[in-house]
Structure 1
Amino acid sequence: MAKGFRPEQVINGTWGEVWFDGEYLAQVTACKAEVTFKKTPIPQVQSLVSGQKITELEPKGEIKLHHINSIIMNKVSAAVKAGKTPTHTIISNVNDPDAIGAERIAYYDAILDKMILADWEAGKTCEESYAFTFGDWDPIQTIKS
């Protein structure tokens, strides 16, 4: 029986990476970005079921990191203290050598939801998690089957 794919082609997130304003974040452990569709019901004659029209997009994402430096805090802190809204370009890439290709996406005009100044606990390794929204995106490289 023919299968649609080989199991080793399933992407392993271990091969993922992220750049934040052009700086490589070797400490990244996870990245997720999605665009939620906000829909408006459209009534139609001769139908009890309304159709749906996408009328707004809600792009958002999250990156998780081992806390090894203050790169993000430093970039954000300087801008907000000056009364500015810091925007960033975030690029994610996953390039599993077993997969049939790599997937690289750029997220533009990204605004973090918060700035972490301190978050630690004795006996535990420190992590950071930054949720963000973004204004635009560009699939730089996609996987074609």
Structure 2
Amino acid sequence: MAALRGYHQVSGTWGQIWYDGVLVMEVKSFEAKITANREEVQIGMSKDSKLTSLSGEGTYSVYKVYTRGKKKVLEAWKKGKDPRSTLVGKIKDPDSPGGQGERVTIDNVWLNELILLQFEKGTPCEEEYSFGFTPEDASFVDIIA
């Protein structure tokens, strides 16, 4: 087994996301997580827990370059519709052992909020979006072994 070296640490510099098949070149950060929802169970004098459901949520931030589909979401929401999307996140650092990367696909993604316009004078614009998803619609496509 080869020795683990500091340069094997994966850098976020190489992270990418695709929103409905379109590469989001202006991505700054991305996070998607699944939370185990539990109910407390008492067994004798010990407190334990029972898994009752899963919930998926995340955020991504972009450097402001494009409107990137906000009008489409706004118009759908105003009509009472809840559009769903697919997000794919990938990170493949050239220094990863064996050149491997990690890729996750998430279907049934919904936005929780829509930033119509945001800016601060003298500062490059960024936008952050929160989203939710059903955990059964998330899967690893590639892993770093």
Same structural fold, with TM-score higher than 0.5 when normalized by the shorter chain: yes
Partner of residue 140, structure 2: 139
Displacement of 1:97 = 0.5
Structure 2 SS opposite 1:26 = coil
Closer, same or farther: CA 54–4 of 1 in aligned 2, 3 Å: farther
- TM-score, normalization by structure 2: 0.90
- Distance in 2 (CA, whole Å) between partners of 1:37 and 1:4 is 35
Unaligned runs of 5+ in 1: none
Counterpart AA for 2:57: K
Equivalent of 2:47 in 47, 50, 54: 50
Displacement of 1:140 = 0.8
- Distance in 2 (CA, whole Å) between partners of 1:123 and 1:8 is 36
Displacement of 1:103 = 0.6
1:97-108 equivalence runs, <5 A: 97-100=94-97, 101-108=100-107
- TM-score, normalization by structure 1: 0.90
Partner of residue 123, structure 1: 122
Displacement of 1:4 = 6.4
Query: Any idea what the Cα deviations from partners look like across 1:76-128, whole Å, max 9, x if unmatched?
Result: 12321332101111110001000122110011111111111100122111001
Counterpart AA for 1:36: T
Partner of residue 29, structure 2: 30
Structure 1 SS opposite 2:60 = strand
- Distance in 1 (CA, whole Å) between partners of 2:3 and 2:116 is 48
- Distance in 2 (CA, whole Å) between partners of 1:72 and 1:30 is 18
Same amino acid, percent of matched pairs: 29
Q: How large is the RMSD of aligned CA atoms in angstroms?
A: 1.7
Q: How many residue pairs end up in the alignment?
A: 141
- Distance in 1 (CA, whole Å) between partners of 2:91 and 2:24 is 13
Unaligned runs of 5+ in 2: none
- Distance in 2 (CA, whole Å) between partners of 1:10 and 1:131 is 27
In the alignment, structure 1 residue 15 sits paired with structure 2 residue 14: yes
